[in-house]
């Protein structure tokens, strides 16, 4: 089994088909590995949401031996919040879900400003962004999710890889908490199983494009900005297109081979 | 081999006299009974998420030897971790920490402390209570922390126990989640979770029968009609006698 957790980059957003996740990189990688794919990607989800989805799935399903889990990390500014109204007034999601264990419209959602659910979380987001958010908070909170993911996989004998999608690569931003003893969890993380190459970089490489991004900073990038340089055949506005997803799957497959997974 | 105890004020030893209360709290007494050095990661007023994060912070910076035992003493489910942004520039140490990796007032705090210790996070607390806080949210969120603690211990290869301190016993609350998509019961090793809170050791000692099934949201208030003065301070934390009693009962539970 190949279990994938992540955000829109794993869900297949912008692929025009209704069942976009059937064209996203996890499907191609599953074919390369000859493994059944469980795609738990949640469009708009935070890294915390990814861990919640992972826990919910493994709590309720038998995970076969030789399972591989891939944690596609997303932007660190996203934060899990609970949609209280979904308890009192549940309704079905508008999008087809790749797995019944993922719900984009009820329960745990991301309160980040781009999410559809912003109205529900207006003050939660505002007070987070204005009172709490800072580089140390962002990096510590999100690296903690990677640490927890690795610990859970280790406990359950699940092989694992963490792969950044388009921003905030853990390798490059860890320096922000390393200098704070009370926040430094970097020694707990198995960095050999955290890719230092972002998915978007594989697409840059294919196009021979070198945008000179300072990944060690938390500001960017905005994928839309790179659209003119990487062409229509690999990229939509914010997300890879079908060919882009195939390239990502090929590159992750090569990376897994290096780890003999 | 160490006894690693992570928890809230009940583990830290709030209300015990002196500036190092953790040296007289239940972990210290349990360590003597088990003949193990104690790592007390108790943090006053913290949430269950912080309790797990403190444990993971310790695990990331220290070698944890096989044979060690970890105990998570869970706290109130309505506490929620928040970040104190201005902690970068202020180092206020009002209480001495039980461990170098614990700081009561910097970085991560519980938003519920906005009522006194950290009024600057009051808007965040209010927003959480208004927009997110409900029974399902609290139970879902807190049971995830219990599962994360257990799985971290399993990954580290050490024995682990979870015991609620004074309210919100995970075992008695798990059935309150109705939604399948929020149910992680099967991920939790319920065998190693104590059913009743530490406070029950004390109230049982003075003769009260357990009354938890109907009173899970107001633990301390419920027991005010009994004379607990030998074992409990005024604000609801154990006296040293109470901590000793808790340690003895925990020792018996662990040995069983």
**All domains of chain A, ordered by start, with CATH?**
2-258 (3.40.50.1110)
pLDDT of residue B179: 83
pLDDT of residue B113: 86
- Among B residues 143-162, those touching chain A with beta carbons less than 8 Å apart: 144, 147-148, 151-152, 154-156
pLDDT (average), residues B186-195 = 95
> Residue B215: pLDDT above 50?
no
Token couple for B43: 């943090």
Taking an 8 Å cut-off on Cβ atoms, the answer to whether A182 and B103 are in contact is yes
The pLDDT tens digits for B245-255 are 999 999 999 99
Closest CA to A221 of A143, A172, A168, A170: A168
The whole-chain average pLDDT of chain B stands at 88
pLDDT of residue A91: 46
Lateral strand order in the sheet of A68-73: A37-39, A2-5, A68-73, A159-164
- What whole-number distance in Å separates Cα of residue B106 and Cα of residue B88? 8
Q: How far is CA A140 from the centre of its chain?
A: 16
Count of Cβ atoms closer than 10 Å to residue B121 Cβ: 23
Closest CA to B149 of B231, B59, B221: B59
* Cα separations in angstroms, A1 against A8, A33, A65: 21, 9, 8
- What whole-number distance in Å separates Cα of residue B21 and Cα of residue A82? 36
Which residue stretches of chain A have pLDDT < 70? 86-97, 104-105, 113-118
Please list, residue by residue across B42-61, b when 16 or more beta carbons sit within 10 angstroms of its beta carbon and e when fewer do: bbbbbbbbbbbbbbbbbbbb
User: What are φ and ψ of residue A72, in 5° steps?
Assistant: -85, 110
Taking an 8 Å cut-off on Cβ atoms, the answer to whether B123 and A136 are in contact is no
Residue of A76, A97, A188, A189 to mutate, testing the B interface (most B Cβ within 10 Å of its Cβ): A188
pLDDT of residue B8: 95
pLDDT of residue B225: 67
The kind and range of the H/E element at A213 are none
Closest CA to B216 of B182, B255, B175, B188: B175
Q: Which of A137, A155, A156 is opposite residue B83, by nearest beta carbon? A: A137
Work out the widest C-alpha separation in chain A, in whole angstroms.
Answer: 51
pLDDT of residue B221: 56
> Residue B89: pLDDT above 50?
no
pLDDT (average), residues B53-63 = 96
| CB-facing half-sphere around the CA of A39: CA atoms within 13 A | 24
Which range (A208-212, B106-110, B178-182, B221-225) has the least confidence? B221-225
pLDDT-derived band at B222 (thresholds 50, 70, 90) equals low
As for the ipTM of the complex, it is 0.93
What is the four-CA torsion angle of A198, A201, A203, A204, rounded to 10 degrees?
A: 170
**All domains of chain B, ordered by start, with CATH?**
3-255 (3.40.50.1110)
pLDDT-derived band at B88 (thresholds 50, 70, 90) equals low
pLDDT of residue A215: 92
Residue in chain B lying closest to A99 (CA):
B181
pLDDT (average), residues B110-123 = 86
Q: How far is CA B27 from the centre of its chain?
A: 12
């Amino acid at each position: 089994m190949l279990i994938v957790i992540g955000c829109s980059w794993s869900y297949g957003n912008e692929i025009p088909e209704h069942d976009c996740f059937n064209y996203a990189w996890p499907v191609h990688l599953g074919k390369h590995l000859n493994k059944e794919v469980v795609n738990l990607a949640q469009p708009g989800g935070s890294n915390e949401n990814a861990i919640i989805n992972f826990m919910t799935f493994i709590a309720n399903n038998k995970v076969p031996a030789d399972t591989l889990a891939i944690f596609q990390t997303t932007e660190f500014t996203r934060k899990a919040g609970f949609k209280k109204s979904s308890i009192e007034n549940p309704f079905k999601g508008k999008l087809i879900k790749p797995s019944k264990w993922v719900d984009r419209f009820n329960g745990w959602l991301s309160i980040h400003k781009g999410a559809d659910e912003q109205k529900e979380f207006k003050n939660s987001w505002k007070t987070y962004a204005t009172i709490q958010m800072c580089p140390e908070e962002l990096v510590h909170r999100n690296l903690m999710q990677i640490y927890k993911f690795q610990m859970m996989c280790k406990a359950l004998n699940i092989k694992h890889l963490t792969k950044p999608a388009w921003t905030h690569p853990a390798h490059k931003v860890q320096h922000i908490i390393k200098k704070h003893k009370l926040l430094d969890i970097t020694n707990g993380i198995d960095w050999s199983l955290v890719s230092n190459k972002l998915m978007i970089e594989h697409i840059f490489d294919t196009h021979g494009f070198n945008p000179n991004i300072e990944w060690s900073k938390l500001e960017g990038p905005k994928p839309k900005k790179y659209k003119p340089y990487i062409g229509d055949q690999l990229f939509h506005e914010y997300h890879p297109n079908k060919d882009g997803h195939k390239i990502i799957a090929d590159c992750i497959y090569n990376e897994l081979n290096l780890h003999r997974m | 081999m160490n006894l690693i105890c992570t928890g809230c004020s009940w583990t830290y030893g709030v209300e015990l006299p002196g500036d190092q209360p953790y040296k007289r709290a239940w972990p210290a007494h349990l360590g003597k009974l088990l003949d193990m050095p104690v790592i007390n990661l108790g943090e006053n007023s913290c949430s269950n998420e912080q309790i797990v994060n403190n444990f993971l912070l310790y695990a990331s910076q220290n070698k944890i030897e096989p044979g060690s035992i970890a105990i998570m003493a869970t706290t109130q489910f309505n506490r929620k971790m928040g970040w104190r942004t201005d902690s970068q520039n202020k180092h206020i140490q009002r209480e001495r920490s039980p461990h170098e990796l614990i700081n009561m007032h910097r970085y991560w705090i519980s938003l519920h402390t906005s009522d006194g210790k950290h009024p600057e996070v009051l808007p965040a607390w209010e927003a959480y209570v208004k927009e997110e806080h409900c029974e399902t949210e609290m139970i879902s969120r807190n049971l995830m922390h219990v599962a994360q603690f257990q799985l971290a211990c399993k990954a580290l290869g050490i024995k682990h126990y979870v015991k609620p301190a004074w309210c919100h016993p995970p075992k008695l609350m798990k059935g309150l989640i109705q939604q399948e998509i929020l149910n992680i019961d099967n991920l939790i090793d319920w065998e190693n979770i104590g059913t009743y809170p530490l406070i029950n050791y004390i109230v049982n000692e003075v003769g009260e029968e357990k009354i938890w099934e109907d009173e899970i949201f107001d633990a301390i208030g419920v027991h005010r009609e009994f004379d607990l003065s030998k074992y409990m301070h005024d604000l609801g934390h154990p006296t040293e006698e109470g901590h000793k009693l808790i340690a003895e009962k925990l020792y018996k539970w662990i040995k069983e």
